[in-house]
């Protein structure tokens, strides 16, 4: 397998990062995961914009243009001849003598490589189990940073209870999942947390919001509580790797009779159509 390291295409096993890379020591970096369908990265432009936006928010300059990053991804996809996979790209602040102070001289480290696609068809059919847990993360969840320890710890809460995702709350208000955005449907009204510093504004989230608008679904970016979550008619989560994933259980309690609900089903298929339209047709 290959990787791009600072723009150079090399064997993955040849990739070397300095022990004082700030990505390694401080989690001082930003990243993106992009789905590739039929050889075409989905919403590539949106992902690249978000990468630059995350970097800007942590006072980091990425010394590449969007076109250069795009070309790199395409080069890698051609080299690996992969049609269905994920692109992982990460830019860290680079190597500097260990010190919390942001260095002026470090130039940053860019890595891009491909991850195998997850098989999610069965999950998409049946839905997944989740648990509710406290959102213990910091207050800048809008930044897609490689500092993911909070996310890792809450995911572990889910794993310990045989669930696949942790739904997070702050003082009883649902924010998002450990690596997904969370949505509820009640009386045909769809709701998800507003895009502020408490959540990551998912690219899939934005796609679903625009699908809702284009297809006249009633949808609001409005906070909801854990109680409202438990009383919802339907729950689903969204992310690049899970697309539109039905939630059929929360803390052992069945949601929508333990089966994916009709609005979730409809949004799943509209999102699949969008993929088909943009990556295959």
In the three-class reduction of DSSP (H, G, I as helix; E, B as strand; rest coil), residue 170 is classed as strand
Among 90, 92, 179, 268, binds ligand PMP (CB under 6 A): 179
Per CB under 6 A, does 202 bind ligand PMP? yes
Per CB under 6 A, does 246 bind ligand PMP? no
Per CB under 6 A, does 77 bind ligand PMP? no
Spot the catalytic one: 144, 155, 157, 259.
144
Four-CA torsion 256, 259, 262, 267, nearest 10 degrees: 110
**Helix and strand counts by DSSP (H, E) for the chain:** 8, 15
Least separation in angstroms between residue 187's CB and ligand PMP is 26
Least separation in angstroms between residue 48's CB and ligand PMP is 12
Residue range at the interface with ligand PMP (CB under 6 A); choices 55-63, 96-104, 172-180, 187-195 = 172-180
- Calculate the alpha carbon distances from 230 to 195, 249, 251 in Å: 22, 9, 9
Among 164, 192, 240, 264, binds ligand PMP (CB under 6 A): 240
Residue 144 catalytic? yes
Q: Are strands 189-192 and 219-221 parallel, antiparallel or unpaired?
A: parallel
Site string for ligand PMP, 127-156 (x = CB under 6 A): ------------------------x-----
DSSP of 103-145, one letter per residue? PSS---EEEEEEEEPP--HHHHHH-EEEEEEE--S-S-TTS-B
Among 133, 204, 256, 268, binds ligand PMP (CB under 6 A): 204
What is the number of the residue whose Cβ is closest to ligand PMP? 202
Asked if residue 255 lies in contact with residue 249, where contact means CB atoms within 8 angstroms, the answer is yes
Residue range at the interface with ligand PMP (CB under 6 A); choices 63-71, 125-133, 173-181, 260-268 = 173-181
Least separation in angstroms between residue 46's CB and ligand PMP is 8
User: What is the distance of C-alpha 11 from the center of its chain?
Assistant: 26
Is the CB of 182 or the CB of 255 nearer to ligand PMP? Answer: 182
Q: Give phi and psi for 89, each to the nearest 5.
A: -130, 135
The token pair that represents 132 in the structure block: 């509710």
- Calculate the alpha carbon distances from 74 to 67, 77, 229 in Å: 10, 5, 41
Among 96, 180, 192, 268, binds ligand PMP (CB under 6 A): 180
In the three-class reduction of DSSP (H, G, I as helix; E, B as strand; rest coil), residue 1 is classed as coil
Residue range at the interface with ligand PMP (CB under 6 A); choices 1-9, 155-163, 203-211, 260-268 = 203-211
List of residues contacting ligand PMP (CB under 6 A)? 151, 176, 179-181, 200, 202-205, 238-240
């Amino acid at each position: 397998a290959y990787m791009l390291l600072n723009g150079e295409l090399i064997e993955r096993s040849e990739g070397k990062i300095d022990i004082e890379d700030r990505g390694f020591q401080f989690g001082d970096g930003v990243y993106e995961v992009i789905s590739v369908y039929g050889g075409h990265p989905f919403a590539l432009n949106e992902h690249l914009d978000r990468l630059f936006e995350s970097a800007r928010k942590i006072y980091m300059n990425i010394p590449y243009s969007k076109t250069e990053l795009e070309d790199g991804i395409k080069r890698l996809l051609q080299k690996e001849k992969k049609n269905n996979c994920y692109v992982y790209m990460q830019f860290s602040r680079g190597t500097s003598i260990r010190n919390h102070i942001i260095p002026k001289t470090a130039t940053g480290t860019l890595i891009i490589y491909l991850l195998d696609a997850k098989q999610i068809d069965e999950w998409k059919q049946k839905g997944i189990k989740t648990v509710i847990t406290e959102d213990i993360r910091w207050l800048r969840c809008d930044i897609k940073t490689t500092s993911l320890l909070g996310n890792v710890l809450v995911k572990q809460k889910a794993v310990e209870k045989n669930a696949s995702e942790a739904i997070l709350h702050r003082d009883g208000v649902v924010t998002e999942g450990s690596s997904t955005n969370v949505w509820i449907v009640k009386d045909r009204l769809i709701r998800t947390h507003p895009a502020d510093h408490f959540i990551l504004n998912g690219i899939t989230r934005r796609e679903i919001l625009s699908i809702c608008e284009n297809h006249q679904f009633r949808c609001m970016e409005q906070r909801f509580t854990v109680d409202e979550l438990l009383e919802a008619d339907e729950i689903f989560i969204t992310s690049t790797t899970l697309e539109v994933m039905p939630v059929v259980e929360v803390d052992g309690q069945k949601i929508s009779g333990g089966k994916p609900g009709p609005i979730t089903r409809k949004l799943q298929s509209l999102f699949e159509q969008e993929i088909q339209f943009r990556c295959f047709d």
